[in-house]
């Protein structure tokens, strides 16, 4: 109308901010463009009389612009809501664009069709189950897997189960369930505290299958078990003082048998020492002796017998429950 041709000659030849050029085609980024291509007849800037069909949030509108309103950008587009009925919408378009160029009528109708099609498709997809594609982050996955394995090892489930079972036994929940020969049972209880608990469990289970006896025997066993525990506790308390001497290398051997019984009682007291023990074990894997720096002087210490014994059995790493005879307070006193 007014200077459309001039505008087009400038936009086409020189610069248009909406134009995107690819090797085969020119696209128009203008949101009101009817076809999406950059061409003389579909450029919304180069045609003052223009019409489009656009949808906003699922509602389809017909936009029209005339030459009169071309200089008021805020008010230039006239918006007509099209009906949801496709046929009626087509009629509406024809009514509104009645004296317009055939090009606009045709393109608007085509665009309306496309929009309705994709809207129905969107609705269908939403009704059905939508599979959401989630990318696998390989590094994260591997990391989690590794941590799971470590956590499994750290949890030491077997030991926990073991303890639970023994606890239940002591409490008497299995009163009438398992029947054992009495002596074998007692020996078992003794052995369990010497050796690794994993081995115990295996033997334990084997013995279960052996013999069938009366309930009274079982009860008797349990009572004796309880008595023995008390006896052991008394013994443990006596041995505490002996074990706390740092420099007594020779005495350790005498206290061999006594020390070995101490584990259960002292285990509860000092968690810190256990951790230290683990560290020290890790540090000096060679020999029974290790050096320790106490107030500047390095003192050679021998591992407590408990630890030495375990090493000889080749189960160093896992056993953290054995007590460490050293206390930090005691060290200060001696030096």
Partner 1 sequence: MFSGHQTSAESWGTGRAVARIPRVRGGGTHRSGQGAFGNMCRGGRMFAPTKTWRRWHRKIGVNQKRYAMVSAIAATSSPALVMSKGHMIQEVPEVPLVVSDKVQELSKTKEAVLMLKKHRAWTDVLKVYKSKRFRPGKGKMRNRRRIQRRGPLIIYNKDQGLTRAFRNIPGVDTICVEKLNLLKLAPGGHVGRFCIWTESAFRKLDSLYGTWRKESRRKKNYNLPMPKMTNTDLARILKSEEIQAVLRNPK
What's phi and psi for 28, nearest 5 deg? -120, 125
Q: Residue 294 forms beta bridges with which residues?
A: 297
Give the count of beta carbons closer than 10 Å to the beta carbon of residue 249: 13
In whole angstroms, the minimum distance from the beta carbon of 41 to partner 1 comes to 10
In whole angstroms, the minimum distance from the beta carbon of 328 to partner 1 comes to 60
In whole angstroms, the minimum distance from the beta carbon of 10 to partner 1 comes to 6
Residue 118 in the binding site for partner 1 (CB under 8 A): no
Residue 212 in the binding site for partner 1 (CB under 8 A): no
Q: How many angstroms separate the CA atoms of 241 and 300, rounded?
A: 21
Residue 227 in the binding site for partner 1 (CB under 8 A): no
Q: How many angstroms separate the CA atoms of 240 and 213, rounded?
A: 40
Q: Report residue 95 as tokens.
A: 């009514």
Given 3-state DSSP classes, what are the helix, strand and coil percentages for the chain, each rounded to the nearest 5? Answer: 55, 10, 35
Please say which residue, 73 or 296, places its beta carbon nearer to partner 1.
73
Residue 45 in the binding site for partner 1 (CB under 8 A): yes
Handedness of CA 207, 208, 210, 214 (dihedral sign): positive
Residue 3 in the binding site for partner 1 (CB under 8 A): yes
Of 18, 100, 178, 263, the residue at the interface with partner 1 (CB under 8 A) is 18
Find the part of the chain contacting partner 1 (CB under 8 A) among 66-74, 181-189, 220-228, 260-268: 66-74
Residue 53 in the binding site for partner 1 (CB under 8 A): no
Using the structure block, give the residue that is written with the tokens 């029974």: 288
In whole angstroms, the minimum distance from the beta carbon of 106 to partner 1 comes to 18
Residue 70 in the binding site for partner 1 (CB under 8 A): yes
Of 59, 71, 174, 249, the residue at the interface with partner 1 (CB under 8 A) is 71
Q: How many angstroms separate the CA atoms of 311 and 316, rounded?
A: 5
């Amino acid at each position: 109308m007014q200077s459309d041709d001039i505008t087009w000659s400038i936009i086409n030849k020189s610069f248009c901010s909406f134009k995107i050029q690819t090797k085969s085609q020119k696209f128009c980024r203008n949101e009101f463009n009817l076809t999406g291509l950059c061409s003389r007849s579909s450029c919304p800037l180069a045609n003052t009389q223009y019409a489009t069909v656009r949808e906003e949030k699922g509602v389809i509108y017909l936009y029209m612009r005339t030459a009169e309103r071309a200089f008021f950008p805020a008010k230039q587009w006239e918006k007509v809501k099209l009906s949801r009925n496709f046929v009626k919408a087509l009629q509406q378009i024809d009514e509104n664009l009645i004296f317009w160029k055939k090009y606009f009528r045709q393109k608007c109708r085509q665009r309306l069709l496309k929009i309705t099609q994709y809207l129905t498709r969107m609705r269908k997809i939403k009704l059905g189950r939508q599979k959401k594609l989630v990318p696998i982050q390989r590094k994260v996955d591997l990391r989690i897997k590794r941590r799971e394995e470590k956590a499994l090892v750290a949890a030491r489930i077997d030991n926990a189960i073991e303890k639970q079972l023994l606890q239940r036994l002591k409490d008497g929940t299995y009163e009438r369930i398992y029947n054992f020969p009495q002596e074998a049972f007692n020996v078992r209880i003794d052995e369990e505290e010497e050796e690794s608990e994993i081995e115990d469990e295996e033997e334990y289970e084997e013995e279960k299958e052996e013999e069938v006896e009366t309930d009274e025997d079982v009860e008797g066993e349990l009572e004796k078990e309880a008595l023995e525990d008390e006896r052991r506790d008394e013994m443990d308390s006596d041995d505490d003082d002996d074990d706390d001497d740092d420099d007594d290398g020779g005495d350790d051997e005498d206290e061999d048998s006594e020390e070995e019984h101490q584990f259960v009682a002292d285990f509860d007291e000092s968690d810190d020492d256990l951790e230290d023990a683990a560290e020290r074990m890790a540090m000096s894997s060679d020999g029974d002796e290790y050096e320790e720096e106490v107030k500047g002087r390095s003192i050679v210490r021998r591992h407590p017998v408990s630890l030495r014994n375990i090493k000889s059995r080749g189960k160093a790493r896992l056993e953290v429950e054995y007590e460490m005879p050293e206390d930090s307070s005691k060290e200060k006193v001696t030096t």
